[in-house]
Amino acid sequence: MRLFLIDPHEKRLYNNGLFDTGLDPNFIVWKRIRSYLAKKNIEIATIDLHPIETAERIYFLDHDFFSLKPGRPSYYLQKCIEASIPKSQLHLVITECPIIKPESWLPENHTYYGTIYTWNDSLIDNKKYFHYRWVQNLNGIQKNVPAFSEKKLLTLINAHKTNYNPKELYSLRIQAIRFYEKHYPEDFDLYGIGWNKPLNIKFVYSVLKGNFMKVPKFIMDFALSYKGYSSYKGAVEDKIEVMRKYKFSLCFENMENIDGYITEKIFDSLKAGTIPVYLGAQNIQKYIPKGAFVDFRNFSGFEELTNYLIDMKEEEYHSFIDARNSFLKMGIEQWDYKHFAEDIFLHE
């Protein structure tokens, strides 16, 4: 049995928590990856459960700064270096975008690894940098969704967060919420965690990471968050079940204008039978057919977008649904756990 170890860089995910659906139902994809690899005579476990010297390969989910303390970020990478583990056995899997894990994107940090896997097409050279697609939980695809006439217009389902990188899209989500609360309150609903309380003070970290001039902006955002959000309907246990009741869903990634950065947001909407209004990856049409989503870049702002959505006839709406159905039948399997496992763990 070949042994592959993985460092998830998060305390709750050690001791094989990464594969525990009790911690997060979406970890079903990692549980399936583990079972799939077991059939290939590969055991995969979190890095804390075996001596690093016994592993054939070691994978790090994103790069974190070194730490001398057990259980802290990159403690195990430091141990690998101290133990003279060959660089060819050390692999970096970049999952987060630059505004969330900027250290994962610094070229000097890539020198610790023999192989790097990323969704960013612009880095791929098939020598050190190899491409993968963000693994998706394909459970919950809706075959039967409410009729066009029974659906409400628009929703947004996200956690309440902020960031101060120039390419962040958190602030655009808030602009959207305030716009719809003011102009179309009967046509828009907001869901997710954190919107019923002030902005979490922990997000000041995005200001302190080289954006000190944004401190006044954070203070203003923090103060404005006390106003609350009149469109807020609460957190959701089943995102797909809630989203399926709407014609459209705002699907804004955390960051815009970066190749290949396509997360679960657009997939959740497609699974629900809700048309995504998408902004994020600049090459989105390389991966998702343009007829299956509304491209926010085609509109001057929320007013023009909303007029288009409200005026859309049922026939046009169903053309989006037809494109969605075709993609789910012919293209979505490329985003499943088997392809992810083959692109990364079975890559030779």
Within this chain, domains 2-131 and 148-334 share the same CATH topology: yes
CA distances to 98, 164, 168 from 217, rounded to whole Å, are 21, 9, 14
Q: What is the pTM (predicted TM-score) of this model? A: 0.92
Indicate the CATH number of 148-334 among 3.40.50.11660, 3.90.1570.10, 3.30.1150.10, 3.40.190.10: 3.40.50.11660
* Domain range list for the chain: 2-131, 148-334
- Note down pLDDT in tens along the chain; length 348 residues: 999 999 998 889 999 999 999 999 999 999 999 999 999 999 999 999 999 999 999 999 999 865 545 555 578 998 999 999 999 999 999 999 998 888 899 999 999 999 999 999 999 999 999 999 999 999 999 999 999 999 999 999 999 988 888 899 999 999 999 999 999 999 999 999 999 998 887 776 666 665 667 778 778 888 888 889 999 999 999 999 999 999 999 999 999 999 999 999 999 999 999 999 999 999 999 999 999 999 999 999 999 999 999 999 999 999 999 999 999 999 999 999 999 999 999 998
CA atoms within 13 A on the CB side of 60: 28
For domain 2-131, the CATH architecture is 3-Layer(aba) Sandwich (3.40)
Q: At what angle do helices 28-38 and 337-344 cross, to 10 degrees?
A: 60
Q: Taking CA 142 as the corner, what is the angle to CA 279 and CA 305, rounded to the nearest 5 degrees?
A: 30
